[in-house]
Structure 1
Amino acid sequence: MQGFKDIPRVVWLLAAGVFVNAVVSCTFVFVFVYLTGPRGLGTTQAGLIVGIGGLGLVAGNFTGGWYGDRFGHRSVLLTASALGGAVLIALPALPTGPLTLALPLAQYAAGVIRAAHSALVAVTVPEGARRQAFAVTRCLSNGGFTVGTPLAALVATGLSYDWLFVADGLGTLFFALWTARAVPAGGATRPPAAPDGGLGRGGLWRELRARPAVLVLLGAIVVVDVVYRQHYTTFPVFLADHGLDTRAYGLLIAINGGVILLLEIPATLALRKRSPLHIIGAGLVLVGGGYAMLALGVGVAPAVAMMLLLTLGEILYKTTATAYVADESPEHAVGRFQSLYAGVSVSGVVLAAPLGGALYAAAPDLLWPLCSVLGVGAGATVLFVGARAARRPARPAHETGSPAAAVAG
């Protein structure tokens, strides 16, 4: 198909491994239930462990690309997958004390894997085909999660929650072995040396200041991720408070996954030649517009409209933003730029629940209008920056992670 021809074979192989791993990597959905159920922990203790795990995930995303720029993205991906897989397999056998350390460690490894994988794709794929490449891997990851979640529920209820962690660990180890065979050592996976590239010497900050649109985008993504993840935290509580039970929420989440599987790749192909900042800005506006639908009243129709707009916004901004940051990265810091984006793109894992929960408890009628304003405002800011960037000359290829730079590593 036109648009896929520039995606290297190695990316397709990586995407296949991501799909298999995603099928069995659904333990995070059931962690709180596992801790308060079979493990017998109180909700406060379980919540603390889950919260620390979320911090581990964010920290892993922020640091995975840094390791890759220094040691090679393939090596970091293999190491983190092996470590994370081993910890997950051992986790059910651990007593409560070591468990509180092991779970955040597994989450940290998962964050490193995510950032290292994004950086590996970025340095492997030439500029101009990265949107399609990231769309393929994200679509297959969502597909694996869609298949895996109901299977995981069957395993947890029919066998044991322990088997979820064992399966997740084995899947992560499989991903390490698959990556080792699919991705050749050396080549583009070994980044060039980064002269004066450390934060302490001003290297990364200097590169970011030279790319103000990237800085604005990173800030907008922090805001929108807190807004976006309300549909995982306060939104189901809102539905329950208005008479819509867990089954209704499950169907809405299914709409999200189904629309992504149907439209993500076609939308990416259709829009691949459009200005990335305009696409990202439009996506952020749609996320904010989704929450505005809840002002129409409480019921199935507004909830479905909200989820559809939210999902369309996600399709537009997530893949395009990942590729845009890769395209804007200097050749010696692709991993660090990917880590910055990966970290801010999961910031809502830590911030969404406490901020949204506190506001919903204090002023429930204010939460959704505020989410709408923040989403639309973030999108409008990115659109404004995109309009200004369109009037500037293109950045020279040697200053970005261009095709030549990606191959040169």
Structure 2
Amino acid sequence: MTTLRAVPKAVRLLCCGIFFNAVVSFTFIYLFVWLTGPRGLTVAQAGLISGIGGVGLVAGNFTGGWFGDVYGHRRALLAGAALSGSALCVVALLPTAALYVVLPLAQYAAGVVRAATSALIAVGVPEGARRQGFAVMRFASNAGFTIGPPLGALAAARFSYDWLFVADGVGTLLFAAYAARVLPGRGAGRPAVPRATGGPGLAAELKARPAVLVLLAAIVCVDLVYRQQYCTLPVFLGDHGFDARAYGWLLAINGGVILCLELPAAHALRRHAPLPVIGAGLVLVGLGYAALVPGASPGAAVALMVSLTLGEILYKTTATAYVADQAPAHAQGRFQSLYAGASISGQVLAPPLGGALYAAAPGLLWPLCAGLAVLAGVVVLGAGRLPGRGPAADTGPSLETGSPRRAAAG
């Protein structure tokens, strides 16, 4: 409750919408099954469409913040959700050739929504409470993701996979309507800072904050490692006699621990310097994969998931808040876009790179994953010594995304 009280009401209401949107956002989980099953595509065709969609999602994350900085984060969220929802509603009716365009477009719009949501949290929560704000956002998203996939499976079994896209699309449009109602609208269409007086460019701002650049590079490396749990890990477990139920229980451990511990951890660590917390989290991700180096066993699999989850709790919320605190007011959205894109880059990089290494030299995958994540953590631990500016201090856009306000005003 203390964590919730530190978060403004408008942000709490937005997180309620994030929860609902996460519940209905189950199509990407079943996309490959739908493409190779009801749509009758080959595995290669399904892989190509899914891969292009992943590129669209990452591109949307990287560019969504720019739209918000120029046109307003609220407007970027609403436009992205409207486009994504509308596209998903008609996906099941489209010919196969159109899927190569419409699915990536829907994913791109979803990436814009993700970046805009992070930027809205960043500008809506006063500095000093942003870790709690992002923890509440992640709690809402993870809680929705815990409920959504089983509901999607029931809907697919009772009706058809086609209806999953309709439900996701309608739900996304409802989220847009809800966000339009709960997010303050005054000034939402204007840039946070006029473009002519917006301050130095993005490259100059990043050059002045080398620790942010180091962190972004580390996040790309660790996300490549982190997302092996969704591609090569189930293959590895299957090759060692574990069935799908064992993998499902491992993912349940991840979701359960996050829901129980992330909010209390954000509150308990709120006064600790961010980079040591982030670095420790990245090291824990690496140590988790190191548990698989001796071989596959139930104990090693559980140790992996517990360490991976604890590392995720430490680094994801703290890193998002750190980037927000470091961002200048006129580039808050672009800083959040850079982090959002880095934090999801593994969705594109992990399957091909991890799969190729596992096929060529399976014994090298887990040692390399462990070493890469630990090295990234050590580099982040040392990044605090780099010169650079402190967090953007006393002014910034409000949740209305057009009105400057004192950060302490909350």
TM-score (norm 2): 0.94
The answer for the alignment partner of 2:302 in structure 1 is: 304
Q: Using the alignment, how far apart are the partners of 1:369 and 1:252 within structure 2?
A: 20
- Distance in 1 between the 2:197 and 2:296 partners? 55
Instruction: Please report how far the alpha carbon of residue 53 of structure 1 lies from its aligned counterpart in structure 2 after TM superposition.
Output: 0.2
What's the secondary structure of 1:4's corresponding residue?
helix
User: Of residues 259, 262, 276 in structure 1, which corresponds to 2:260?
Assistant: 262
Matched with 1:313 is 311
Q: 1:87 & 1:373 partners in 2: Cα distance?
A: 41
CA distance in 1, matches of 2:138, 2:3: 16
Helix, strand or coil at the partner of 2:193:
coil
Residues 196 and 203 of structure 1 are in contact (CA less than 8 Å); yes or no, is this contact kept in structure 2? no
* Alpha carbons of structure 1 residues 402 and 163: separation in structure 2 relative to 1, 3 Å: closer
| Contact 2:208–2:388 (Cα < 8 Å) also in 1 | no
In structure 2, what is the equivalent of residue 163 of structure 1? 163
Distance between the aligned counterparts of 1:143 and 1:95, measured in 2?
34
* Structure 2 partner of 1:238: 236
CA distance in 1: counterparts of 2:141 and 2:4, whole angstroms? 18
1:192 correspondence with 2:188: no
Cα distance in structure 1, aligned partners of 2:215 and 2:395: 19
Q: Is the 8 A contact 1:114 1:342 kept in 2?
A: yes
Contact (CA 8 Å) 2:73, 2:188: kept in 1 or not?
Answer: no
Aligned match of 1:52 = 52
Aligned equivalents of 2:100 and 2:392: distance in 1?
A: 48
Q: Answer yes or no: is 1:84 the counterpart of 2:84.
A: yes
Specify the alignment match of 2:333 in structure 1.
335
Aligned residue identity for 1:121: I
Alpha-carbon shift at residue 4 of structure 1 (Å): 3.3
- Provide the C-alpha distance between the structure 2 equivalents of 1:99 and 1:205, rounded to a whole number of angstroms: 36
Post-superposition shift, 1:400?
7.7
1:214 to 206, 212, 216: 212
Q: What displacement does 1:358 show?
A: 0.7
Gaps of 5+ in 1: none
Deviation for aligned residue 1:297: 2.7
1:349 maps to what in 2?
Answer: 347
Which whole-Å CA distance do the structure 1 matches of 2:223 and 2:196 have between them?
A: 33
For residues 113 and 385 of structure 1, what CA distance do their matches in structure 2 show? 30
CA distance, structure 2, for counterparts of residue 45 and residue 162 of structure 1: 18
Structure 1 pair 117–395 and aligned structure 2 pair: CA distance change class (3 A): closer
Shift of 1:194: 3.9
In the TM superposition, residue 149 of structure 1 has moved relative to its aligned partner by 0.7
2:77 aligned partner, one-letter code: L
Shift, 1:398, TM fit: 5.2
Give the gaps of 5 or more residues in structure 2. 406-410
State how far apart, in whole Å, the 1-side matches of 2:255 and 2:240 are. Answer: 24
Q: From the superposition, tell whether residues 84 and 394 of structure 1 become closer, same or farther in structure 2 (CA, over 3 Å).
A: closer
Displacement of 1:296 in angstroms is 3.5
Q: Separation in 2 of the partners of 1:394 and 1:235?
A: 39
Structure 2 CA distance for partners of 1:240 and 1:10, relative to 1, 3 Å: same
Distance 1:233 1:393, change over 3 A: closer
Superposition RMSD on alpha carbons, in Å?
2.0
1:397 maps to amino acid: A
CA distance in structure 1 between the partners assigned to 2:65 and 2:181 by the alignment: 21
> Residue type matched to 1:116 in 2?
A
Distance change in 2, residues 1:320/1:334 (3 Å)? same
Deviation at 1:192, TM superposition (A): 1.5
Give the aligned residue type for 1:255.
Answer: I
2: CA distance between counterparts of 1:51 and 1:329?
31
> Paired residue for 1:4?
4
**AA paired with 2:272?**
R
Q: Post-superposition shift, 1:368? A: 0.1
SS at match of 1:20: helix
Q: CA 1:402–1:223 in structure 2 vs 1: closer, same or farther (change >3 Å)?
A: farther
What count of residue pairs does the alignment treat as equivalent?
403
1:18 is matched by which residue type in structure 2? I
Corresponding residue for 2:137? 137
Aligned match of 1:372 in 370, 373, 387? 370
- State the identity as a percent: 64
Q: Work out whether residues 58 and 345 of structure 2, in 8 Å CA contact, stay in contact via their aligned partners in 1.
A: yes
* 2:186–2:402 CA contact under 8 A, matched in 1: no
Task: Report the alpha carbon displacement of residue 3 of structure 1 after superposing the two structures with TM.
Answer: 3.9
Distance 1:115 1:45 in 2: 29
84-93 or 394-403, which deviates more: 394-403
- How far apart in 2 are the matches of 1:60 and 1:323? 20
Quote the Cα distance in structure 2 between the aligned partners of 1:192 and 1:120.
Answer: 15
Give the one of 389, 392, 408 matched to 2:404: 408
Is the 8 Å Cα contact of residues 194 and 333 (structure 1) preserved in structure 2?
no
* Contact 2:234–2:247 (Cα < 8 Å) also in 1: yes
Deviation at 1:188, TM superposition (A): 7.7
> SS of 1:59's equivalent?
helix
Which secondary structure state, in structure 2, belongs to the residue aligned with residue 184 of structure 1? coil
Within 2, Cα distance between the matches of 1:247 and 1:68? 42
Which residue is 1:19 aligned to? 19
**SS of the residue aligned with 2:293?**
helix
1-structure distance, mates of 2:332, 2:42: 43
1:392, CA displacement in angstroms?
8.1
Q: In structure 2, what residue type is equivalent to 1:97?
A: A
| C-alpha contact (below 8 Å) 2:211/2:388 kept by paired residues | no
Shift of 1:159: 1.1
